[in-house]
Every structure is written in C-alpha cells, then in structure tokens.
Structure 1
Amino acid sequence: MEELFTLEKEVGRGSYGVVFEGHVAKTGQRVAIKRLPCSNPESIELYLQELWAMRTTAKNHVNVIALHGCLMQTGTRSLKPLKPGNLPLRLVESVLKGSVVRALQSQERTNSPCNTRRRSISACRLQDRTNTIQAKAKLQHKSKESSSDSSTPQRPQNRRRKRPAPTQEDQTGSLRCLALWLVMEYCDGGDLNQYLLSRPPDTQRNHRVVQQLCSAMAFLHRLGITHRDLKPDNVLVCVTAKGPVIKVADFGLSKMSECVVDGDLTRQHFSSTCGSDFYMAPEVWGGLTYTAQADIFSLGVMFWAVLERITFVEEGTTQEQLGAYVCKGRSSWLMPLGEALWENAELQLCIPMKFKRAPPLPPPPGPAMCTLLLDMLASDPDARPLADQLEARVCRALKEDSH
C-alpha cells in the first residue's frame, strides 16, 4: 500500500479502538481508518481475526465492508505497511504466549536494515496514551546506512532506489508493534440504527436492507466466515442516488467455519459465548456449542426489528436501538429473544408485534414474511434456513405478500 493518508476527525469509538475519517493524499478519496492499540494478547487476537476476515472477503462483495490496506505502527511516528497475506509475527507470538512480546531493547536502540522499510507521517502525532489524532501526511524515506551524524541523508526525489533484500529481522517481525491501522471504505450513512431511525419508515427501503443483508450473509458463510456479532451497530450504510448500500462490518469476533465441500456443508462448532445480548441465539445463551446458524438467528432479530421498526433502549444507555425482545411478565423488563427461547423452547413469538413499534409505524410484515421470520428464529438451529437459501426465500416471501 503506497498511498499516504490524512486523518481528519474521529467518527467512532468502541471498546477496542477508534475510527477516524481520512483521505487518500494522492486522490482525495475518503476512507475510514481504524486504530487498534496492541496492548494485550486478548485484544491482539481479536484484531488479527478481524484483519484475517477482511482480507478473506477483500473487495469481493458490495455488501461487505472493503479493506484497502493495513499499517503496523512501530513507533510514535513510524508506520510500516503490511503486505497482503502477511501477519506481524510478533503479534502472533503475543497471542500464542499470552503476553505482549516486545523487541529486545538493543534492537530498539539500533538502526536495523528493516528501518529502511519504515514510512512515517511526519505531521501525524500518533499518541499512545490517547486515541485522538490530527494529522497531515508526508512521506519520508530513511537511508540504509546510519552514522553518528545526527542528520540523515534524504532520498533524492524522482530517483529510484533498489531496496535491500529482506533480512531475518524483517521476516521475524522484530519491531515492536504499538497498533494496527486498518484502512477501509468510508460509509457516510452511519450505522443501520442511525440511518433507519433518522428517517420516516419506508417499506421499499426496508425490503432493500433485508435483501442486501441476506446477500452479504450468504457470501460470508460460503467463505466459511461466521460473524458471531451481527447487530445494527455492526452494519454500516453508504448513501447513494439509487438508495442505501448496506455493508456488514466489524469482524473482531468472527471465526472460521467449514465451507461447502462437494455440495455438502460441514459445520464447525464453536463454544465461546460472545455477541450482543439482544441478538444472541438461544444455544449461545445456554452455553452450548453452536454453528454458523447462530448468525441466522441474529439476522432474524434484525429483520423483524427493521420490518416493524421495533426499538428498545438498553439498560445503562440512552440510545434507541433496533431490536426485537420479549416483555417479562407485566413489568417493563425486556428480555432478549434468545434468552427467552433458551428458558422456554416452546415459547410462541407474536409476529407482527403489536403496540411495541416505534412511531411512525410501517405496515407489519405479511404472512409469508412472518413465516420466514419464525423459521429464522427457531429454537432448533437445524430448523433455521441456511444462509444461501435466505435471499431466494426473502424475495419469494415479499412477492407473495405484495399480492
């Protein structure tokens, strides 16, 4: 990745990193740049999973967020591009050993040949203690040879220089990694919550959202990727003249599942309880092993919420969110669908959900779509449709209901 990037402003912050709006210096293209500080092995493992998933999807599907490149921060002002297919071996070692592996002090003090591959953004103040950055990019090249002189010879402009062959230190990743920077396509419509709830209900728009999510999920599952944290917050929107383009994002919890082999789907089972409460499948709530079909349940919750504009405010927050739920008893306590179905697998869900929708109210889903939603939200994972069946079933249900 040869482009330089200018960081403009912070646009999002989460538990693990911060996202900035930026631009490619040469073209002016707007991009999103996500900084992931590599401070502990647990976070590093999530970052490598996200990088792996995004490299696997590459730019091959319009409804999955595209990764333009990745940089490794090796110092307060130094960034090193990562080639496609390569992982920082020191980060992999940190995950395997359970502690952050740092370069030897002697290596950090001296100028090794791998320093010739560094690129720095001179005006960019990369602060390790804070995640705020105001920057303008400027490419600098350092010469291979270092002397006791404090000045470093500058590479003449418009002249090619043959780079030295990678040394052993290059290949083993001896440089200390302070953070990973993921450069991704920018989505100007915010997340799915922000986009849909800031606009009056539109049935056709909702249908396009549902169909695009089906297409993205079929693509991911064909590649063997189980997302494991599907929710409106992790779905971004690009606003176009032809309508919203949906982008599934945030692959930090994603895992590899078996893909289709000779027409047969062999499934990888997972055991880690992860995801967001209101979208987790019953088997995940119960601590059982689960498969990629847990994604289908999460998608069913999202579909129901999008089509009926069902919202809730999660305890401890003030943000209105799209999501379906069950009311516990006569109180106002909201129980996630997955938890309720885990406690009672025979629970009958009421689709459509009357009197629980955020005004103004869209028309409720028709009978065919209601049947599909119930199948997606089945307690038994094997009773849920597969991802590659969803898109056709959604189109068929919408067509039936339109008549």
Structure 2
Amino acid sequence: MEELYTLEREVGRGSYGVVFEGQMSKTGQKVAIKRLPCSNPECIELYLQELWAMRATAKNHTNVIALHNCLLQTGPRSLKPLRPGKLPLCLVESVLKGSVVGAKQSQEQSNSTQSNNQRTRKNSTSKLQDRTNTSQNKSKSDAITPQRPAKRARKRSATEEETQGTQLKCLALWLVMEYCDGGDLNQFLLSKPPDEEQNHSVVLQLSSAIAFLHRLGITHRDLKPANVLVCVSDKGPVVKVADFGLSKMAEGSLTGDLCRQHFSSTCGSDFYMAPEVWGGQSYTAQADIFSLGVMFWAVLERITFLEEGTTEEQLGAYACKGRWLMPLGEALSENPDFPLCIPMKFKRAPPLPPAPGPHVCALLLDMLAVDPFSRPRADQLESRVRTALRQDAHCA
C-alpha cells in the first residue's frame, strides 16, 4: 500500500467504533480514521452497510462525508487496502453464518496461536503508525444518546482480538475519511452566537444531501446533529452527513422512489425518530424527512435539550408533557392530534435567532406530519425550503 497513515489522537468514541484524527504520512493531509472491531456478526453487518453506503456516495456530493480508503486489519499490526467494489468475503460469511469466521474453537488453539502472533508481531511491518496507542485500549463505551437499537453485543478488547489466532480473517475495518475541523453540528452552532443566514445555509445543504442519498437509494435512518459534521471554509460552514452504520440501500433499482421500500427494525435516536418508527410500524425513507424536520426546527430556533445524565446541550425539538421533555415522534405516535407549536411559544434564554416566518413554519409542519406520505419527498425538499425562505424574506 503506497499511502501510510499516522494516528494523532482520538476524537470520538461511539457504540460501535472509535474515530481518530490522523494524517497521510506522505502529504501530511489530515484525515479521520474510524476503527470498527469485527468481533460480532451483528456489528459486522452494520459495518458492511456503512462501507457499502459510503462507497456509493464516494466523493460525489460536497455535503456527504467522503471515503478515501478502506483497510482490512488481518493481524495486530498488519493492514491491507480493500479493493474498490469488493467486500471482505470472511465478513460476509460471518454475517450469513451468524458467527465470526475463524473464531477460536478451543483453549488449546488459542494458546498456540497466541504464541504465533507474538512471533509474527516482531517481524511484521505496521501499515498504520499509532502515536496514541488508544486503539490498543478498548474500554466498553456507553451508548451515544439518543439510544441505538437494543441487543448490542459487547465489544471485545484489542487484547482479546489479538488472541483469536491466525484463523481469524479480519480483526477490524479501518475507514479513512475526510477530516472535518468544525466538529459536529451541535458543537459548531452552539459554540457561537446565532446567525440566521448561516442557519438557512445549513438547512439548504442538508436538504441537498438527503435528496442525493435518496436518489442513490440510501435511507440514512439515524439523522441527528451529532451525525452531521462541519468543515470550516472561507465561504462559510460546509456540513457533511456522516455515520451510515444504520443506513439501508435499496435492493435493485427503485428509480429514486424509496417510498416503495419498507423497513421494520426499530432504529435511530429517540428525539429524532418518526412516529411510525416509535410505533413499531413499517416505515419508509420518509422517516428521514421527519428526522430532518426535527433538526431544521431546532437549528432555525436554536432549540436545545439536555439528555438525562449529561451536561452537554443538544439541538433538537421536542414536546412538553408537564415538566418532562418528550420526543416529537413519541408524542405523535401516542396522539396523532398532538399540537405542534411552531415557532415555540414559551420563553427561552437569549441569544436567539429570529423566529422562522409563516412559510417556513408551514413547511416544518409538513415535514413533521404523522402521515409519512403527507411529508415532502427528498427530491422536492430543497426547492420547497428555498421557496419558503424567499417568501418569508419578502414578508419581513
């Protein structure tokens, strides 16, 4: 492999992997490097979905995170690049069989292969230099809230992975992606005073990104500010939709009509999930539009909440039930006639951007409709956002 990468520091840790800031050794270009440990068939399936979706998007849209390279870790310090268009057969086999291919069969095999690995480690040349050694220190991480799907498997530590032996075909996938210096959307927007023009730009960029993904047959299924990264440029922030671990790609050609593909698994993040997902019903890509509606409302009005047990504010609209906050999707699932007050009526702490105008409010209500087919489709959304913003500007 011609390009070598150096890990600089850990910048994020989630339920399924760890993200490092790194650089290309030859050019010094900054990259983000995500390590996904392949210790469980359910997790492996999510990794392959993410890889497949990111390969489909590649570098084709400025508002979708770009994948530069994918590396297959076959030993404690040995990696090799994955050829474009190919999936690791050992990982596909693990998903189909429901067990990790090459996992240890007995304690004797484990002891034997551990000593082999120790000898191999002395002679092997590392393809990935780790200055932080954090990839060798895997502690069980808490789920990023809102919660991921239930029944996640425990992550195996790096030490356990190394003792799996030569029979284990893949220890981890490493995804090398473009680096975003502005953090996620929560961090970026809440770290500075409200900027109405900037908020409008963010909403338009996200509309364009989701239209692009849906045209490719990709339903994201976990849209939230934490999964939107920001690159700072001279012309303003460029937002990038990221984290495709829960995404689904359409089987065959649907000619851009994802409303005909239905999903049944409940997944996503509580405060952004659509009512049909909350209700355990079959749902389509229109669930993404509801999630966007929650994000747009929060961005335009600077609505934040604190997840229980945390002190970091998150962008997200919600319903109020007494003194408790309730996800919009859950409230609408329980009561389809639940009134949504856009803009919010109760007082919030300054500084606040101007409240969205009547045309934008009407669009948000459409995006947050209980009936998925009453929501605008992704290919209509960017045009509708532009029109609503222009009409409200003329009314001001």
What's the TM-score bracket when you normalise by the shorter of the two chains?
A: 0.7 to 0.9
> Given that residues 223 and 292 in structure 2 are in contact (C-alpha distance below 8 angstroms), is that contact kept between their aligned partners in structure 1?
yes
Residue 137 of structure 2: aligned partner = 130
**How far 1:359 moved relative to its partner?**
2.3
> Given that residues 310 and 358 in structure 1 are in contact (C-alpha distance below 8 angstroms), is that contact kept between their aligned partners in structure 2?
no
Give the Cα–Cα distance (whole angstroms) in 1 for the partners of residues 251 and 188 of structure 2: 34
Matched, 1:67 2:67: yes
> Given that residues 309 and 358 in structure 1 are in contact (C-alpha distance below 8 angstroms), is that contact kept between their aligned partners in structure 2?
no
> Given that residues 293 and 382 in structure 1 are in contact (C-alpha distance below 8 angstroms), is that contact kept between their aligned partners in structure 2?
yes
Q: Which of 304, 314, 328 is the equivalent residue of 2:297?
A: 304
Identify the structure with bigger relative contact order (alpha carbons < 8 Å, sequence gap 6+): 2
Residue 192 of structure 1: aligned partner = 185
Deviations 1:285-330 (CA, angstroms, capped at 9, x unpaired): 000000000000000000000000000001122110000001103x
Q: Which of 366, 374, 399 is the equivalent residue of 2:390?
A: 399
Residue 271 of structure 2: aligned partner = 278
Query: Cα gap change, 1:248/1:259 in structure 2, threshold over 3 Å: closer, same or farther?
Result: farther
Query: Cα gap change, 1:122/1:185 in structure 2, threshold over 3 Å: closer, same or farther?
Result: closer
Residue 26 of structure 1: aligned partner = 26
Which structure shows the bigger proportion of residues in helix conformation?
Answer: 2
> Given that residues 35 and 172 in structure 2 are in contact (C-alpha distance below 8 angstroms), is that contact kept between their aligned partners in structure 1?
yes
> Given that residues 260 and 266 in structure 1 are in contact (C-alpha distance below 8 angstroms), is that contact kept between their aligned partners in structure 2?
no
> Given that residues 214 and 256 in structure 2 are in contact (C-alpha distance below 8 angstroms), is that contact kept between their aligned partners in structure 1?
no
* One-letter code aligned to 1:101: V
Matched, 1:288 2:285: no
Residue 339 of structure 2: aligned partner = 348
Residue 115 of structure 1: aligned partner = none
Query: Cα gap change, 1:123/1:19 in structure 2, threshold over 3 Å: closer, same or farther?
Result: closer
Give the Cα–Cα distance (whole angstroms) in 2 for the partners of residues 267 and 357 of structure 1: 41
> Given that residues 231 and 302 in structure 1 are in contact (C-alpha distance below 8 angstroms), is that contact kept between their aligned partners in structure 2?
yes
Q: Which of 126, 133, 148 is the equivalent residue of 1:120?
A: 126
> Given that residues 222 and 260 in structure 1 are in contact (C-alpha distance below 8 angstroms), is that contact kept between their aligned partners in structure 2?
no
Moved more, 10-19 or 196-205: 10-19
Query: Cα gap change, 1:75/1:258 in structure 2, threshold over 3 Å: closer, same or farther?
Result: closer
Residue 207 of structure 2: aligned partner = 214
Residue 149 of structure 1: aligned partner = none
Matched, 1:365 2:356: yes
> Given that residues 6 and 128 in structure 2 are in contact (C-alpha distance below 8 angstroms), is that contact kept between their aligned partners in structure 1?
no
> Given that residues 311 and 358 in structure 1 are in contact (C-alpha distance below 8 angstroms), is that contact kept between their aligned partners in structure 2?
no
Query: Cα gap change, 1:376/1:119 in structure 2, threshold over 3 Å: closer, same or farther?
Result: farther
**How far 1:129 moved relative to its partner?**
5.1
Query: Cα gap change, 1:67/1:357 in structure 2, threshold over 3 Å: closer, same or farther?
Result: farther
1:42-81 correspondence runs (5 A): 42-81=42-81
Query: Cα gap change, 1:392/1:122 in structure 2, threshold over 3 Å: closer, same or farther?
Result: closer
Query: Cα gap change, 1:89/1:265 in structure 2, threshold over 3 Å: closer, same or farther?
Result: closer
* One-letter code aligned to 1:121: K
> Given that residues 80 and 119 in structure 1 are in contact (C-alpha distance below 8 angstroms), is that contact kept between their aligned partners in structure 2?
no
Query: What 5-or-longer segments of structure 2 have no aligned partner?
Result: 118-123, 140-165
> Given that residues 58 and 66 in structure 1 are in contact (C-alpha distance below 8 angstroms), is that contact kept between their aligned partners in structure 2?
yes
SS of the aligned residue for 1:59 comes to coil
> Given that residues 192 and 232 in structure 1 are in contact (C-alpha distance below 8 angstroms), is that contact kept between their aligned partners in structure 2?
yes
Give the Cα–Cα distance (whole angstroms) in 1 for the partners of residues 360 and 192 of structure 2: 23
SS of the aligned residue for 1:181 comes to strand
**How far 1:355 moved relative to its partner?**
2.7
Query: Cα gap change, 1:266/1:258 in structure 2, threshold over 3 Å: closer, same or farther?
Result: farther
Give the Cα–Cα distance (whole angstroms) in 1 for the partners of residues 135 and 74 of structure 2: 11
Matched, 1:87 2:94: no
Give the Cα–Cα distance (whole angstroms) in 2 for the partners of residues 251 and 357 of structure 1: 33
Matched, 1:247 2:253: no
Deviations 1:341-361 (CA, angstroms, capped at 9, x unpaired): 001111121000123545211
Query: Cα gap change, 1:303/1:119 in structure 2, threshold over 3 Å: closer, same or farther?
Result: farther
Residue 148 of structure 2: aligned partner = none
Query: Cα gap change, 1:357/1:229 in structure 2, threshold over 3 Å: closer, same or farther?
Result: farther
Moved more, 195-204 or 353-362: 353-362
* One-letter code aligned to 1:13: R
SS of the aligned residue for 2:85 comes to coil
Give the Cα–Cα distance (whole angstroms) in 2 for the partners of residues 128 and 43 of structure 1: 18
Residue 197 of structure 2: aligned partner = 204
Query: Cα gap change, 1:190/1:352 in structure 2, threshold over 3 Å: closer, same or farther?
Result: same
1:133-144 correspondence runs (5 A): none
SS of the aligned residue for 2:240 comes to strand
Moved more, 293-302 or 102-111: 102-111
Residue 389 of structure 1: aligned partner = 380
> Given that residues 278 and 338 in structure 1 are in contact (C-alpha distance below 8 angstroms), is that contact kept between their aligned partners in structure 2?
yes
Query: Cα gap change, 1:264/1:294 in structure 2, threshold over 3 Å: closer, same or farther?
Result: closer
SS of the aligned residue for 1:36 comes to strand
Deviations 1:186-242 (CA, angstroms, capped at 9, x unpaired): 000000000000010000000000000000000000000000000000000000010
- Percent identity of the aligned residues? 77
- Coordinate RMSD, CA, aligned: 2.4
* One-letter code aligned to 2:375: R
Query: Cα gap change, 1:28/1:281 in structure 2, threshold over 3 Å: closer, same or farther?
Result: same
User: Scaled by the length of structure 1, what TM-score is found?
Assistant: 0.83
Residue 334 of structure 1: aligned partner = 325
Query: Cα gap change, 1:2/1:302 in structure 2, threshold over 3 Å: closer, same or farther?
Result: same
Deviations 1:146-174 (CA, angstroms, capped at 9, x unpaired): xxxxxxxxxxxxxxxxxxxxxxxxxxx97
Query: Cα gap change, 1:262/1:247 in structure 2, threshold over 3 Å: closer, same or farther?
Result: closer
**How far 1:95 moved relative to its partner?**
1.0
**How far 1:121 moved relative to its partner?**
2.9
Deviations 1:341-387 (CA, angstroms, capped at 9, x unpaired): 00111112100012354521110000000000000000000000000
Q: Which one has a bigger Cα radius of gyration?
A: 1
